[in-house]
Structure 1
Amino acid sequence: MHNDTILETRGLTKEFRGFTAVRDVDLRVRRGSIHALIGPNGAGKTTCFNLLTKFLVPTRGQIVFNDVDITRERSSQIARRGVIRSFQISAVFPHMTVLQNVRIGLQRQLGTAFQFWRSERSLAVLDARALELLDEVGLTDYAQLRAVELPYGRKRALEIATTLAMEPELMLLDEPTQGMGHEDVDRVTTLIRKVAVGRTVLMVEHNMNVIAGISDTITVLQRGEILAEGSYAEVSKNPQVIEAYMGSTDATLQGAHA
């Protein structure tokens, strides 16, 4: 593994009964980059993410993070190593405030997870850092709002803030702009670009405009295998990729040259 590679998979394969969802995937994510995983529905993107975050155990293959084989580690172990997936710690406490949600992320990072019986005063120490994180994702004005009351696009910003609270070295974002209107998509895209500075981001995303704007490298999956890889300019001109997306209502490469 090159030391500029933060995450590598070697022959990663996942078989379900009589069906191979991911087949011999060799993925290499460069440290400090934004790497997108795309592909039509059923391409294996989510399965791949689930393998990387230990929601699923691979049938075969290796996962290497920072030169350490993490294939057999549990999700809690890889989280401690700094591999954090956004939805794992999304705004899971809808009736707590935005600030409290981020504070819980900070508590988990400290290893005092879920010690809700601790006094409010001892938690107040975390507030300064929580407010810094809210500022980073543009949620300062929403700090005292209950998470359930947040507008949809801002909920994603809260997820990203709680993810940042866990001090991720590698952030895994699972369809961060799914179900959003243009304005929210633009805001979240800008946010991802901002929080990616000094970090590594691996994201599954349907929206080609988002990917075109921020990805350094794009890996295209089709039927569980890597179809193509490269920059947006390279991938979007690839005849096999264009063909894979044609007839797919899932996403389109047309008009995505923004």
Structure 2
Amino acid sequence: MSDYIIETSGLTKSFKGFTAVNGVDLRIRRGAIHALIGPNGAGKTTCFNLITKFLEPSEGRILYKGEDITRMKPADIARLGMVRSFQISATFPHLTVLENVRVALQRPLGTAFFFWRSETSLDGLNDRAMQLLDEVGLAEFAGAQAASLSYGRKRALELATTVALDPEVLLLDEPTSGMGREDIERITSLIKRVAVNRTILMVEHNLSVVSELSDRITVLARGQILAEGSYLEVSSNPEVVDAYMGSGHA
């Protein structure tokens, strides 16, 4: 078994003559927290969308646990155990916090999203749902509508629902975007917790979050890999300082 759970080879995406991602070879080690960073326009979001199959590559291959997933659909990728969150919180606003987690918990039972079933048929999921809410600090909000939560707590709920799907690989798109310091600290702590026995690939602008969480960092610039390594290694790389840290983008 390979040490790498996700591998890309020559990953390329062109849009009408503009190459957003150009020949990217990524290797994401099992059990690691791997960050993808770079200045605006570096291609990191496009690369992220290619790996999660929300975009089709122009060239190259994507392997997941050694299997070629280059032409698979996003739903098929999720069934294999690779689940992504989005930069914009994706919850059901008019369901309660508890109900949001219960919906996610249905998938492994083979009853996913059977909204017409009696509500009592889902009561067996309550204990696990409450456990997940407790883990993300939302147990006291279980009966509240998701729409009533603060932004930071909505992101915590999204993490709970994502973890409820029991992913092997969790892909996080700007998990602390738009948050104040207190919420950033809460989400950073949550990510550490859910990373146990999982692999995480994240796109993140906040360098303090990157430095605290990441085992390995890939820096993109102009659609290509500029540097890879630990935070100490990439932050002291003159090319990275010039292209990323010196650009004024945090």
What's the TM-score once normalised by structure 2's chain length? 0.96
Contact kept in structure 2, 1:109 and 1:165, CA below 8 Å: no
Match in the other structure for 1:211 = 210
Which residue pairs with 1:26 in the alignment?
Answer: 25
Residue identity matched to 2:38: G
Task: Provide the C-alpha distance between the structure 2 equivalents of 1:163 and 1:90, rounded to a whole number of angstroms.
Answer: 11
What are the residue-to-residue correspondences of 1:120-131 with 2, within 5 Å?
120-131=119-130
Quote the Cα distance in structure 2 between the aligned partners of 1:47 and 1:139.
32
Shift of 1:142: 1.1
Unaligned runs of 5+ in 2: none
In 1, are the aligned partners of 2:21 and 2:224 still within 8 Å (CA)?
yes
Q: Which amino acid aligns with 2:243?
A: A
Q: State how far apart, in whole Å, the 2-side matches of 1:111 and 1:176 are.
A: 29
1:105/1:165 contact within 8 Å kept: yes
Deviation at 1:128, TM superposition (A): 1.3
3-state DSSP of counterpart to 1:13:
strand
Aligned 1:35-46 pairs, distance under 5 A: 35-46=34-45
Gaps of 5+ in 1: 252-258
Q: Distance in 1 between matches of 2:87 and 2:105?
A: 14
Structure 2 counterparts to residues 142-161 of structure 1, below 5 A: 142-161=141-160
- Inter-partner Cα distance in structure 1 for 2:56 and 2:220: 19
**Residues 56-76 of structure 1, C-alpha deviations (whole Å, 9 max, x = no match):** 000111100111111111111
C-alpha displacement at 1:90, in angstroms? 4.7
Contact 1:91–1:147 under 8 Å retained in 2: no
Q: Which residue of 1 aligns with 2:189?
A: 190
Q: CA deviation at 1:132?
A: 1.3
Percent identity over paired residues: 66
2:144 equivalent to 1:132: no
Which residue of structure 2 lines up, in the alignment, with residue 229 of structure 1?
Answer: 228
- How has the CA–CA distance of structure 1 residues 12 and 180 changed in structure 2, closer, same or farther, with 3 Å as cutoff? same
Q: Which moved more, 1:174-183 or 1:82-91?
A: 82-91
Counterparts of 1:104 and 1:88 in 2: how far apart (Å)?
A: 21
- Secondary structure of 1:87's counterpart equals coil
Between stretches 163-172 and 239-248, larger displacement belongs to 239-248
> 2:88 & 2:66 partners in 1: Cα distance?
26
In the aligned structure 2, how far is the partner of 1:168 from the partner of 1:42? 29
Distance 1:217 1:178, change over 3 A: same
Question: Runs ≥4 in structure 1, deviation > 4 angstroms?
Answer: none
> What CA distance in whole angstroms lies between the structure 2 residues aligned with 1:74 and 1:246?
35
Structure 2 residue aligned with 1:178: 177
Farther-moved stretch of structure 1 (156-165 vs 100-109): 100-109
- Give yes or no for the alignment of 1:112 onto 2:111: yes
Which residue of structure 2 aligns with residue 238 of structure 1? 237
Q: Is the 8 A contact 2:106 2:112 kept in 1?
A: yes
Task: Count how many residue pairs are aligned between Structure 1 and Structure 2.
Answer: 250
